Structure 1
Amino acid sequence: MLLIATLAFLFLSAVFAAPSLDGYSIIWADDFDGTRGAAVDLSKWKYQVGVGNTNGEEQVYTTDPANAHLSGDGQVYIIPMRSGDGWTSARLETQKGWNCPAKKAMIFQAEIYIPNFTNNPSKYKSLWPAFWAKGISNRNGVSWPGCGEWDIFETSYLRSNWNQGTLHFKDANGQHNSTFSGRVQYTGGEYHTWALKVDRRDGDWQTDKLIWYLDGKEYYRVTGSQVGNLDVWKQLAWQPYFMIMQVAVGGGYAGGSPDAGTIEGLEASMRVKYAAIYQSN
C-alpha cells in the first residue's frame, strides 16, 4: 500500500499547475492534466483544421491525437508528423478571448519546451513552433492584420534559439505594420516561461504598455505613445485576444520546405506544462 500511495503522489506531483503571481488572480488556466493520449479539454480549446494560413506553411492541421495529446504527466504535446508526401500538425486556440479592463493589467503566460535548434539545425529545418494571440475581432469578420496579433514566442532553426516577440496590426494608413519587434536569446531543449502583459493601470492610453517576458524577466515593451494612434492602440491593447499554440511546418520564417532530414514525432514536438491568463487584483 505504501508503494501505491508513493506512486500516486509522484503522478499527482507531476501535474504542472499554473503558478500564482503576486498581485494577480488566475482568470483562466489549463494544466493539461488527464490520461496519456487523450485530447485537450474542448471546453477550453478548439482545433484549427486545414492548411492554416498564407505564410507558406505546408502542414495540414488536424484533430488527430497523433498531432496533439495529453502526456499523462500534466503536459500537452503538439507533434508534427509526416503524412505521405506532406505533413500534419496541430494548432490549438482558446475557445474564448480576454481583454484587459481599464486600470488593470493582464498576462498571457505558458511554460513551454521546444527542441534545441542549435544542437543540429538541419534536423529541425522548417519546424516553426509558436505561442501567440489574435484579436477576437478576427472571429467576427475583421481580417488580419486589422484584428491585431501578439507574437509571444516563435522561433525556427534559422533563429538559433532566439525568440522574436512582435506586434502585427493595421496602422492609421491601413497598412500592415510589424516594426515593433524585440529579440531575446534562450537556452534550447529546456522549459521556459513566456509571457506578454497588457498594462493599463496608469489610466492613460499613451502610457499603456505591452511587455514581453522570458522566465519572469522583461526583455521588450511597446507603449501607446510609441504607436501614436488611439484607434490603432485599441486594436492592440483594449480588445479581447485569444491564445494560440501550434507547430507549423514550412514557410520562409522556418527555412522553406522540409526535406528528408527534417525530424518528426515527439523529438520535434512543442510541449506545454500549463497555459494561464492572469488579471491584476
Structure 2
Amino acid sequence: MGNGFFAGKDKIWVSGWGNDELQYYTRDPSNIFVRDSALHIRALQESLHGCAYTSARVKTRRHDGAPLFIKQYGRFEFRAKVPHGKGLWPALWLLPHEDHYGSWAASGEIDVMEILGEHPETVLGSIHFGSSFPERELVTHTHSIPDGGSVGDWHVYAVEWYPGEIRWLFDGVMWARQNFWWSCSSTRDGQGTTPLAPSELNAWPAPFDRPFYVVMNVAVGGNFPGSPNERTRFPADLLVDYVRVYDRAKGYEAPKPRGVGMLPWAKPR
C-alpha cells in the first residue's frame, strides 16, 4: 500500500517507489477485484493522500516479510490482458524473498513482462543485478508482437529460470535469453560499489540462485513511462486469467563456472 517505502538503515522515506510514480496503492475493492473469473488490478484517476491516481499491487509475500509463495528456478507463467496508454506501466515480475546479497539490485529482480504504456505492440523482459543502488546493472530485451498484435489482447507471458540462464517466452515461443549477470555485496558509505576484483563478486550464479516471490501491478507515471495525457483511458485494468509455476521433472543441473576475465565493467583504481 501507499506511494513509497522506507529505505536503508536510517529508514529514509522514498516517495513514488523510487521512480517518481504517481499512484497510491490500495486494498480497496475498486482497485482490485475478481470479475468473470479474472483478477482485475485497476488504476483509477482519483485523488488519494496527495496522489492523483490509485491502483493496486499483488505480491506473494506478506507485508511482514513472511512468504505466501516463493520459488527458486522453474517456469513462471501468466495469462494476462494488459492495459496501455501514455503513462501506464503494468508489470508481471519477480523479487527476491530475502536481500541475501544486499539491497536492490544486488539480490536481483526478474521482469517477466512490462510495457511502456504508449507502445502496446512491444513487450519488455529485464533483469536487474549488480551491486546495491546506485551501482546496479540493467539488461532489457525487447519483443515486437507479431501480426500487428497488442498487449491489449490475451497472451501468455513466461520465464523459464534455470541455474545460469533465464529465458523469456511469449505465447509459448522463446524470444530472448540471458546467461550473464553478476552480484556484489560490497558497500561504501551505505551504498553499493562497483567491484574492482573477482574476489568481490558473489559466487555464480548469484543473485539468481535464491527463492523469489511474484509481483503484479499497474503503476502510473514515473521516470519510465512519463505522465498520462488526455488520451490515456481510465479505469486501466490489468486482467490476469491465471498464474502458474512449474518445476522441471528432471531437476536442474549445476551451472558451469564462469570466468570473469578482466572485469570490463569495473572502474579503474
Identify the residue that residue 229 of structure 2 maps to in structure 1: 259
Scaled by the length of structure 1, what TM-score is found? 0.67
Letter in 2 for 1:247: V
Q: Does 1:227 align with 2:197?
A: no
Q: 1:259 to 1:228 in 2, by over 3 A?
A: closer
Q: Does 1:167 align with 2:127?
A: yes
Which aligned runs of 4 or more in structure 1 are off by greater than 4 angstroms? 171-174
Q: Does 1:62 align with 2:26?
A: yes
Unaligned ranges ≥5, structure 1: 1-48, 118-123, 201-207
Scaled by the length of structure 2, what TM-score is found? 0.70
Identify the residue that residue 44 of structure 2 maps to in structure 1: 81
Query: What SS class does the counterpart of residue 247 from structure 2 fall into?
Result: strand
Percent identical pairs in the alignment equals 28
Equivalent residue pairs, number: 207
Q: Does 1:248 align with 2:219?
A: yes
Work out the CA distance in 1 between the residues paired with 2:134 and 2:210: 18
Q: What does residue range 23-172 of structure 1 map to in structure 2 within 5 Å?
A: 49-52=1-4, 53-71=17-35, 73-84=36-47, 86-95=52-61, 96=67, 97-100=69-72, 106-115=74-83, 117=84, 124-138=85-99, 142-171=102-131
Identify the residue that residue 140 of structure 2 maps to in structure 1: 181
Work out the CA distance in 1 between the residues paired with 2:157 and 2:204: 22
Identify the residue that residue 27 of structure 1 maps to in structure 2: none
Work out the CA distance in 2 between the residues paired with 1:176 and 1:98: 23
Work out the CA distance in 2 between the residues paired with 1:222 and 1:64: 38
Work out the CA distance in 2 between the residues paired with 1:249 and 1:145: 22
Q: 1:172 to 1:269 in 2, by over 3 A?
A: closer
Unaligned ranges ≥5, structure 2: 5-16, 62-66, 184-200, 250-269
RMSD: 2.4
Q: Shift in Å at residue 250 of structure 1?
A: 0.2
Work out the CA distance in 1 between the residues paired with 2:32 and 2:96: 24
Render the CA deviation track for 1:181-222: whole Å, top value 9, x for unaligned. 21111221211111111123xxxxxxx211111111111111
Q: Is the 8 A contact 1:99 1:238 kept in 2?
A: no
Identify the residue that residue 25 of structure 1 maps to in structure 2: none
Work out the CA distance in 2 between the residues paired with 1:132 and 1:60: 19
